[in-house]
Structure 1
C-alpha cells in the first residue's frame, strides 16, 4: 500500500515508522527537509500542493499544525489548505483519508463528560475552524474519511509542566485536563489500516481525566517546591472518554501519566 503523509512532525514520523515496519511504502509532504530513510520526501507548501507526478496514493494521513494558536494561523493551516489538498488528491485512488483534528471542537467547559457520541458544538473561533475543516473532508470523502480528535498529546518532554510547577503558587479553579501518550496515538493511527469498518471519527484519549492543579502539585512534590493552593471551586474543562477506541479493543500501553512523567523527569 502506498501511504502519503501531509505534514510530517513528531507524530507522523512515529506512525510512518510503524507502517514501514509493516512493509508499507511511505511518502511525505512537509515544508522542511527530513533525514529519515524510511520514506520518500517532498518539500512542498500544502497550499500549492502538486501530486501530479506522484505514484498512485492509496491512503492519506493529514497531520497539520499551526505555528501559533491564533485565529489567523488556524484558518491558514487547517481551512485554507483543504481545497488545494482535495484538488491534488483527485488524481489518486484514495481508499481512506485520515485527518487529525482536535477535541477543541467540543464546547463543553464545565467539567462535563464527553465521548464519541457527544455532539460537536464549538464555542470559539478556532473550534469552529476545525469543525469546518472536518466537514469539508467528510463531504469530499463521505465513506472514506475518518477524523481523529486527540486529547493533549504527551510523552516527549515535561519541561513545560515543570516550569509551571515552579512558578505557580496558586491555581484559579478546578480544571479538568485530558491526555494521550504520543506512542499510543501513533500505534492507533498505524493500526487503522487493518480495520475493515472505521467510524467517521474517534476521540483518542487515555480516558483518565485529571485535574490540572493536582498534576502540578504532583510535580511540586517531586521537585520539593512549595505546593500551590486552589483559589476557587469553579469547574472548567471537560472529561474525555474514548468510547469508540475502547470498543475497537485497542490496548493502551501508557495508561498512567504519572509513571510516564516520572520517567521523563
Structure 2
C-alpha cells in the first residue's frame, strides 16, 4: 500500500478548491490555505493564514509535503496588490518550506497568459516570447521566475480567460443588450473545471514519474473572435442589442495553443466556449 501523497494548495479559492476535490478523489491528502477556511470543500484540511504575513501559520503541516499548488488571486487589482499576492506571498511560502525542511517534488504556480503581449492574431505556444505590455503581465512573469528559482522543481500554468459558474459577467452584459459587432480580436478561454483538471493532470503525471515541463498554457481547443462569442450568446439568450451599449475591445489578440497540455494526456471537457457556456446558461439564474 503506497502512502498517500500530501498536497498543499496555497490560495484555495475557486480553482484551488476544484483541484483539491479532484486530488482528494485520487486518494491524496489535501491541505487548503486561505484566509477564511470555513469555505473550503469538505474533507480538505484547513490552514488559516494571511499570506501577507511572514510568520508561518500555526496549522502548517508538520509532515513532509509532496506537492504545492500556488493558486492565489490578487487581493486588489493594483501593482502593490499583485506584487504582494504573487511575489511576496510566494517568498513567504518558500521560507515556511525551508523552516520545516520540506522538499516538495514540484511546485505548480498558477499564472496567466497576460504575460504575452502579442496583438497580431498569431498562434502562441510555450515557446513564444513573453513580452507583456502591461504591469500585470510583467508582475506575473516575475512571479513565475520566483517559482522557477525557488530551489524546488516548478511548473507555471498560464491560464487563459477563465469562465464557469459564478463568472457570469459576459452573459450579464449581453443580456443587458451589449454587443460587439466590430470586435474581431481573438479571445482565449478555459472553463474553470478544465483549468482544475489540467493542474490535476500535471500533479498526477509528475507523481507517476512522467516528464513534466516547466510551462503549460491552459486553454480550450478553439480561440474565438469576441464578436462571434457575443453573437452566439445573443442568439442563445434570444436578446437584441441596444445600439448605445458596445463592448470595449480587450487588450491583445492572439490564439493560444493547448498542444503541450494535450501531449500530457489532458483533454478539455469543454472544447470551446459553446460547450462551456451552454452548460452555464442552463444553470444561469440572476
TM-score by length of 2: 0.84
1:164 corresponds to which of 161, 173, 178: 173
Q: Distance in 1 between matches of 2:242 and 2:220?
A: 26
Distance 1:172 1:68, change over 3 A: farther
* Deviations 1:113-137 (CA, angstroms, capped at 9, x unpaired): 1111112211111111111111111
Per the alignment, residue 238 of structure 1 pairs with 254
SS in 1 for 2:72: coil
Q: Distance in 2 between matches of 1:53 and 1:194?
A: 21
2:124 corresponds to which of 111, 114, 118: 114
2:96 corresponds to which of 75, 80, 88: 88
Q: 1:223: how far off?
A: 2.5
Conserved? CA contact 1:178–1:208, under 8 Å: yes
2:161 corresponds to which of 152, 170, 189: 152
SS in 2 for 1:99: strand
Deviates more, 1:151-160 or 1:23-32: 151-160
Q: 1:50: how far off?
A: 1.0
Q: Give the structure with the larger strand fraction.
A: 1
Per the alignment, residue 225 of structure 2 pairs with 211
Determine if the alignment matches structure 1 residue 61 to structure 2 residue 69.
Answer: yes
Q: 1:62: how far off?
A: 0.4
What residue ranges of structure 2 are gaps of 5+ in the alignment?
282-286
Distance 1:193 1:262, change over 3 A: closer
Q: Distance in 2 between matches of 1:244 and 1:216?
A: 29
SS in 2 for 1:101: strand
Q: Distance in 2 between matches of 1:140 and 1:209?
A: 33
Q: Distance in 2 between matches of 1:205 and 1:43?
A: 31
**1:221-232 equivalent positions in 2, closer than 5 A:** 221-227=235-241
Q: 1:53: how far off?
A: 5.7
Per the alignment, residue 17 of structure 2 pairs with 13
TM-score by length of 1: 0.90
What residue ranges of structure 1 are gaps of 5+ in the alignment?
none
Per the alignment, residue 39 of structure 1 pairs with 44
